[in-house]
Amino acid sequence: MRDVLRFLAAWALVHESADEGWRAAVTRGAGLSPGDLERGPDDFVDGLAALVDAEKERLKRDLAADGGGVAPTEGASDRRDADLTAALEAVRFDLAELRGRIESLQTSVDALHAERDD
């Protein structure tokens, strides 16, 4: 999602002066709160325009901060941290689940041994 926004933001940045309609949509969209979609698609586009605009401002700041380079931004590294944490949690769960399966199987093996030795 963020990538798409970034992409649209880049587009909006390049076309900064282009579209009056777009600017108006941004203004209207900024006044919406999440879930306000009474007017359906129109509200949606306004909301999107506002989101893209916010992302555009961020992009501008990022570009200014690193002199136009493409180094990862602070926002991006936060994002990567969050992704990594989530991935780590998921793998940790899979591993723990596997341990559970093994413990259960070991119990079954031990039980069969005990039964044979009885």
Partner 1 sequence: MSARGRAIAAVALRSGASAAWRSGFGLRPRAERRRAVARALRLACEALGPTFIKLGQLASVRPDLVTPEMVFELERLQDRVPAVPVDAIRDVIRRELGAAPEHLFASFDPEPIATASIAQVHEATLAAPYRCVNGRLLEAGARVAVKVVRPGVARLIADDLAVARRWAERAERIRWLARWGPNALLREFESSLARELDLRVEGRVGDRFAFDFADDPLVMVPAVVWTHTTRSVLTSEFVDGWLLSELGEAERAGIDARALATHGAEVFMRQVLVFGRYHADLHPANLIVTRDGRIGYIDFGIAGRTTPPQRQAIAQVLVATAYGDAERALRASRALGLEVPEAVEPALRSGVARLMRAHLARSPADVRGFVTGFLGLLAEHRIAIPEGYGMLVKALVTVEGVARAIDPDIDLIEASKPFTTRLVAAQLLRPERLRERLPAALRAALAELMA
**Does residue number 87 form part of the binding site for partner 1 (CB under 8 A)?**
no
Site string for partner 1, 58-77 (x = CB under 8 A): --------------------
Contact with partner 1 (CB under 8 A): which of 13, 44, 54, 58? 44
Contact with partner 1 (CB under 8 A): which of 48, 63, 73, 75? 48
Give residues with Cβ within 8 angstroms of 48, minimum separation 6: 8, 29
Whether 50 contacts 93, CB under 8 Å: no
Q: Phi first, then psi: what are they for 96, rounded to 5°?
A: -65, -35
Looking at the Cβ atoms of 37 and 65, the one nearer to partner 1 is 37
**Does residue number 51 form part of the binding site for partner 1 (CB under 8 A)?**
yes
Q: For residue 4, which of 46, 43, 49, 52 has the smallest C-alpha distance?
A: 52
